[in-house]
Chain A
Amino acid sequence: MTPSRKKRLTYFLVSAVVVLILGKFIFNSLQKNTIYFFSPTDLYLNSENPKGLIRVGGLVKKGSVQENKNEATYTFVVTDLKNDIYVEYKGILPNLFQEEKGVVVEGTLKDKKFLLGKTILAKHDENYMPPEVAEALKKSGNWNKKYDQ
């Protein structure tokens, strides 16, 4: 092998190793920080409960919002009109949080029917239906034309 070819080969091997390591690094971090979305029905059908941070979306069930004043926590029910899940949330409800409107809650599962909410994602305007929620409602067969704005 000529010296220049040898040099090129080393260069190639070193960069291949570096790229692989960095790729693995990105991949691992991506795995660790991926937040999956579930509808209440998804969770109901799942045999195993997902661990870590997840998002659950659906409609806020009418009449389900309750405030616990002493602990500044709220509980409410998120539904895709087929299955429900209870959410306990400590914090301030955003402006756009309303009963019978779409909501996405980020948090961890306590058990299949109970989510400890950390963040409520409601940055959109009030007619806006988060696409995940729309999808969840379509899946459960409860999509209504009135949501189609």
Chain B
Amino acid sequence: MISNLGAVLLIVSFLTTCSTLFLYIKNNIIQKSSIYLQFFLFYKVSFYLILFSFFVLIVCFAISDFSIISVYENSHTDKPLFYKISAAWGNHEGSMLLFILVISLYGILFLLNSKNINDSLRACTIFFQSIIQLIFLSFLIFTSNPFSKIFPVPVQGLGLNPILQDPLLAIHPPFLYLGYVGFSLVFSLLLAALILKQYNSRWASIAKKWIMLPWSFLSFGIGLGSFWAYYELGWGGYWFWDPVENASLMPWIASTALIHSIVVMEKLKKLFAWTAILTILTFILSLFGTFLVRSGVLNSVHAFANDPERGVYILFIITIITLGSLIIYILKFPKESVNNNSFALFSRDFSILLNNYFLIFILTVVIVGTTYPILLSVFTGETISVGPQYYNTILAPFIFIFLILMAMGPLMKWNGNSLISIKQKIFSFFIVSIFLTILISLYLSRYNFIFLLGVLCSVYLIVSVFYEIVMSKKTFFTKQNFSRLFSHLGFGLLILAITLNHFFSKEINAKIHLGESFFKQGIKINFLKSESSKEKNFEELFGIYKITKDNKTFILKPSVRKYKQPQQFTSETSIQRDGLSDVYIAMDYAGDPSMGMGVRFYYNYFVRLIWISFALITIGGIVSFVRRGNEKTI
């Protein structure tokens, strides 16, 4: 019964979105009225309808209503309630509904937080947001309705892939969606401003806030995804250059470039065209990411819940949106704004331009690496994959230079053209970082060139950030650059942590019999005993291991789970903290346990600093969003 309600709600929200658009066209375009109350009201109603239908879907999953295909395919009565609920967006149909909910949510957030902006711009933005919403609602209703029925009603569901039964994975997709789907709002805002001829530096200060919010969510979502892959997949790594990871990284890089270029637009009235293109690019890449994940063109760890036919639809939607936005851009872009585009070599604006060039290069590398295998298999039928070495070797040298520029750029003046005033700072930072790098390498007794370079460049950025914090002690909490300092510090620490982790992590693979021990690379692994237990939807076999490293001992308890529905084995890792590093073990079950258990042991050096860096980067974004909340702009 309740499933019918959900289906009806979806249709009604589709019709409401149609009438919202109709209202705008009739009242505000044809009759040129400037009263938007009714239009805004209709939009709000459509949001509540979508919210309600999403809620209904969750209820259907919670009560295991197997008359619905997606519940039948992705749930099971034996599953804990939490995973029943998260299964609602763990499948294609539900996640697309969440996708639409987020589009609509951003529309509403914008409507509530934009009272200081003129109504015509607000309304036009909501108009474009409704168009996007309508496009995806029709996609949902016509190709992947989450409330589709099955008859006869099955008594039991097929279950959810055990890898997906994880608390982090339950919250990770919503955050990613709050991230990249959120870029739809700034995209709508751009189109609205272009049409209403309000695309100027004031637009930049309004828009920046609506880039910072999704950017923060996306950073956090990527961090969560990386953390999930780290402890759930049991391969010791935190980033695999997997196409699906790249899919979320691409809009992140584009939006990071956008955050920087929009500041130049706001402060100096330059880079108008570039900023507009980045805005469009960011949203298109977000949609492209959705396409990659949802279409099944990828062979990756994430290759669940997909369907090639839907991919064609999403590709079609991307084409429509790209062409539509480019046409508006070409026809409506204010030509008079182009004249002022000169940059002095040693100015802050030029360093931001350089930053954008670097980011675009990095973006190109990631796009090429991700799409080349797909294109090759489409056109020649050859199956290839691009190894992680491709990314690491190309990107490393550029990231190092990028770090130095990140440290020097903010020292320069807007429109300035001289290095003299900051020469001393640049030089003394170098002295300090070289000194620190020598200390670090002596302490760790490692003198590899790449290692030294990585440490030097990231320490350079960190030193410069600390210098700024110390020097601006009094004004620190009131200044605008507070959020930049956070995010830049986070990035510097991230690269430092990645470098340390890369050079000092250890990996040991061994087969150990019960009661025996294994010694390698200064680490002793002792297999103490094994236990087993029975849960509601799986049986679990634990191994208890004693790890001895540098006179410290750790007791770890990894396990192998045998799930009943669907039948499958998973390894649960066991992780213990050692300072900022992790002692990490995963067990493999292959055959007879009396023949010994295979273990994969990792000592992940400084891996916790990576999570801290992600947090800092995210905090920087949130601070900027909150700070911009109370400004009077237009």
Contact = CB atoms under 8 A, between A and B. Distances in A.
B569 A36 contact: no
B567 A126 contact: yes
Contacts of A35: 384-387
Nearest to A149: B566
Interface stretch (A77-85, A87-95, A107-115, A140-148): A87-95
Interface string B363-400: 01100110010000000001111110110011000000
Contacts of A55: 385
A9 interface: no
Most chain B CB neighbours (cut-off 10 Å) among A26, A33, A126, A130: A33
Contacts of B549: none
Interface string B595-632: 10011100000000000000000000000000000000
Q: Is the interface of B mostly helix, strand, loop or mixed?
A: mixed
B387 A92 contact: no
Nearest to A127: B566
Given A29-B394, A92-B588, A125-B161, A34 B233 contact: no
Contacts of B369: 30
Given A33-B386, A55-B385, A125 B163 contact: yes
A51 interface: no
Interface residues on A, range: 20 to 34
A96 interface: yes
Interface in B532-554: none
Contact of B387 (A25, A53, A93, A128): A53
A13 interface: no
Contacts of B299: 130-132
Given A95-B569, A125-B161, A29 B384 contact: no
Interface in A45-101: 53, 55, 67, 72, 91-97
B566 A95 contact: no
A37 B384 CA distance: 6
B344 to A, nearest CB: 14
Nearest to A39: B383
A131 B365 CA distance: 25
Nearest to B296: A131
Contacts of B569: 95-96, 126
A128 B300 CA distance: 12
Contact of A26 (B303, B387, B394): B394
B404 to A, nearest CB: 19
Contacts of B560: 95
Contacts of A93: 588, 590-591, 598
A55 B385 CA distance: 9
A97 B571 CA distance: 13
Contacts of B570: 95
B509 A97 contact: no
Given A29-B394, A125-B161, A125-B163, A92 B568 contact: no
A35 to B, nearest CB: 5
Given A95-B569, A95-B590, A132-B299, A36 B382 contact: yes
A33 B384 CA distance: 10
Contact of A94 (B383, B385, B590): B590
Contact of A97 (B233, B394, B590): B590
Most chain A CB neighbours (cut-off 10 Å) among B365, B383, B390, B394: B383
Interface residues of B, number: 41
B361 interface: yes
Contacts of A91: 509
B510 interface: yes
A92 B303 contact: no
Most chain A CB neighbours (cut-off 10 Å) among B361, B385, B390, B569: B385
A6 interface: no
Nearest to A31: B390
Nearest to B161: A125
Contacts of B368: 26, 30
Given A92-B598, A132-B299, A37 B365 contact: no
A20 interface: no
Given A26-B364, A26-B394, A124 B303 contact: yes
B589 interface: yes
A63 to B, nearest CB: 13
B196 interface: no
Contacts of A25: 394
Given A22-B361, A126-B567, A127-B566, A29 B383 contact: no
Contacts of B510: 72, 92
Contacts of A127: 566
B346 to A, nearest CB: 18
B233 A123 contact: yes
B590 A33 contact: no
B446 interface: no
A119 B140 CA distance: 39
B588 A34 contact: no
Nearest to B365: A26
Most chain B CB neighbours (cut-off 10 Å) among A32, A92, A95, A123: A95
A94 B588 contact: yes
Contacts of A130: 299
B301 interface: yes
Contacts of B568: 125-126
Contacts of A132: 299, 383
A2 B369 CA distance: 42
A126 B369 CA distance: 28
Nearest to A136: B383
Interface of A: 22, 25-26, 29-30, 32-37, 53, 55, 67, 72, 91-97, 123-128, 130-132, 135
Given A34-B386, A132-B299, 13 more contacts: A29-B393, A29-B394, A33-B389, A34-B390, A35-B387, A55-B385, A67-B595, A72-B511, A94-B588, A94-B590, A95-B569, A95-B570, A130-B299
3 nearest A-B residue pairs (beta carbon):
A92-B598, A33-B390, A37-B383
30 contacts: A22-B361, A25-B394, A26-B368, A30-B372, A30-B386, A30-B390, A32-B390, A33-B390, A33-B393, A34-B384, A34-B387, A34-B390, A35-B384, A35-B386, A35-B387, A36-B383, A36-B384, A67-B595, A91-B509, A92-B509, A92-B599, A93-B591, A95-B560, A124-B303, A125-B161, A125-B163, A125-B568, A126-B568, A127-B566, A135-B383
